[in-house]
């Protein structure tokens, strides 16, 4: 029988009602108790590292989760993390950076309604997560939600209320879960040992381009700036090329500038349009097909493990 470590962090799945609104109240052991059939599937060890609304989750907590999994990795066959949905895609992206080459499944899930609410999706999503954690054809970090199995590097939340709230961006779902079981098709299983990291550097800033609005980036204590551009990416030249001057200033100050897109699918390609062709002059790093969540988390991870622009770019643009 597979041994699974269940880590509950709070989120809607564990929420109860208070006079001020929903807040996490249900423990890891209580969540598992709603799934008595799990005992026939696997041996579960339940732990509660945090009890937070996912709005309050951050790289500090995700590094702590990676550390727990690192220390307990050899004890278990798989890992399930119950997490709030609002920052779950960020959590999956962060853990994909912090835990690499894992041949064991690390599954994140949650719900749109609390476990105790009528017609909740919580029990089904949690059941599916355990099924995936016990599945021999899955490994690495995934998000399991609404019957979908999504690579942790590609997940994005696309709806605040619907049960089918997550999508895989720029690649197909890994698979699906139904009453018939798990259907999954991952890439080739990793060879060798898992690689764990324990640091992220949060000294980044995110700037969103808005038509007609000057680009002004506060750079106090910032080492990298992510610019959310239009379409495949480019630098507006209205306003006397103010945006280009601002990006030039950032580069001159030794700040890494990363261009991503506000469009959910398709990624960036700065070579397509004239407005993007000047990006090389400003030493802009292209996010390509990364989600906005992965772009942010990967930049924090790359900052933590690099001492030069060349090292940062190699880590940020490299495979994880």
Nearest to 14 by CA among 81, 60, 91: 81
CATH code at position 209 = 3.40.50.40
User: Could you tell me if 189 and 282 lie in one domain?
Assistant: no
User: Could you tell me if 168 and 254 lie in one domain?
Assistant: no
Active-site residue identified among 12, 87, 261, 291: 12
pLDDT number for residue 263: 97
Q: Distance between CA 296 and CA 204 in Å, rounded? A: 8
Span 260-295, pLDDT tens digits = 999 999 999 999 988 988 777 778 999 999 999 999
Q: Distance between CA 239 and CA 47 in Å, rounded? A: 55
What CA–CA distances, in Å, run from 242 to 143, 186, 214? 40, 45, 7
User: Could you tell me if 21 and 147 lie in one domain?
Assistant: yes
User: Could you tell me if 216 and 126 lie in one domain?
Assistant: no
Residue 261 CB burial class (10 angstroms; 0-12, 13-18, ≥19): buried
User: Could you tell me if 208 and 64 lie in one domain?
Assistant: no
Nearest to 262 by CA among 228, 296, 217: 228
Nearest to 145 by CA among 98, 106, 108: 108
Question: Which of 165, 196, 227 is the last residue before a domain boundary?
Answer: 196
pLDDT number for residue 264: 96
User: Could you tell me if 65 and 118 lie in one domain?
Assistant: yes
Which domain range does residue 35 map to? 2-196
Question: Which of 161, 196, 231 is the last residue before a domain boundary?
Answer: 196
Q: Distance between CA 213 and CA 199 in Å, rounded? A: 35
CATH code at position 172 = 3.40.50.1170
The verdict on whether 12 is a catalytic residue reads yes
User: Could you tell me if 309 and 273 lie in one domain?
Assistant: yes
Span 49-68, pLDDT tens digits = 999 999 999 999 999 999 99
4 within 8 A of 39, measured Cβ to Cβ: no
221 within 8 A of 205, measured Cβ to Cβ: no
Q: Distance between CA 24 and CA 290 in Å, rounded? A: 31
pLDDT number for residue 186: 78
- The CB density around residue 229, as the number of other CB atoms within 10 Å, is 27
Question: Which of 196, 220, 255 is the last residue before a domain boundary?
Answer: 196
User: Could you tell me if 245 and 131 lie in one domain?
Assistant: no
Within the chain, residue ranges assigned H as helices are: 28-33, 59-72, 88-98, 122-133, 238-252, 274-277, 292-304, 309-317
Which residues of the chain carry a pLDDT beneath 50? none
pLDDT number for residue 269: 95
User: Could you tell me if 31 and 127 lie in one domain?
Assistant: yes
Nearest to 112 by CA among 78, 90, 88, 131: 88
pLDDT number for residue 188: 82
Nearest to 126 by CA among 82, 65, 62: 82
Angle at 14 between CA 12 and CA 19, to 5 degrees: 75
User: Could you tell me if 45 and 175 lie in one domain?
Assistant: yes
User: Could you tell me if 50 and 176 lie in one domain?
Assistant: yes
pLDDT number for residue 36: 92
How many domains is the chain built from? Answer: 2
Q: Distance between CA 254 and CA 17 in Å, rounded? A: 48
User: Could you tell me if 128 and 147 lie in one domain?
Assistant: yes
Nearest to 126 by CA among 62, 46, 25, 21: 46
What backbone torsions phi and psi does residue 81 show, to the nearest 5 degrees?
Answer: -120, 120
């Amino acid at each position: 029988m597979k041994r699974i470590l269940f880590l509950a962090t709070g989120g809607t799945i564990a929420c109860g009602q208070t006079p001020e609104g929903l807040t996490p109240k249900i423990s890891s052991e209580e969540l598992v108790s709603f799934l008595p059939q799990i005992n026939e599937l696997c041996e579960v060890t339940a732990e509660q590292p945090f009890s937070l609304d996912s709005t309050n989750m951050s790289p500090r907590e995700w590094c702590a989760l990676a550390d727990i999994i690192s220390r307990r990795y050899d004890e278990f066959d798989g890992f399930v993390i119950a997490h709030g949905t609002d920052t779950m895609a960020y959590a999956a992206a962060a853990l994909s950076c912090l835990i690499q080459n894992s041949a064991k499944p690390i599954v994140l899930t949650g719900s749109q309604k609390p476990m105790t609410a009528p017609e909740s999706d919580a029990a089904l999503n949690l059941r599916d997560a355990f099924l995936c954690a016990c599945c021999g054809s899955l490994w690495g970090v995934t998000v399991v939600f609404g019957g979908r199995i999504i690579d942790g590097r590609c997940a994005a939340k696309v709806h605040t209320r619907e049960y089918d709230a997550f999508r895989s961006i720029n690649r197909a779902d890994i698979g699906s879960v139904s009453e018939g079981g798990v259907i999954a098709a991952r890439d080739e299983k990793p060879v060798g040992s898992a690689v764990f990291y324990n640091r992220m550097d949060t000294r980044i800033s995110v700037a969103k381009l808005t038509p007609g609005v000057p680009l002004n980036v506060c750079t106090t204590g910032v080492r990298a700036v992510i610019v959310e551009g239009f379409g495949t990416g480019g630098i507006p030249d209205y306003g006397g090329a103010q945006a280009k001057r601002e990006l030039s200033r950032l580069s001159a100050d030794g700040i890494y500038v990363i261009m991503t897109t506000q469009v959910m699918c398709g990624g960036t390609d700065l070579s397509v349009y004239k407005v993007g062709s000047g990006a090389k002059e400003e030493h802009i790093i292209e996010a390509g097909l990364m989600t906005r969540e992965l772009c942010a988390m990967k930049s924090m991870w790359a900052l933590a493990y690099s001492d030069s622009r060349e090292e940062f770019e190699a880590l940020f643009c490299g495979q994880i």
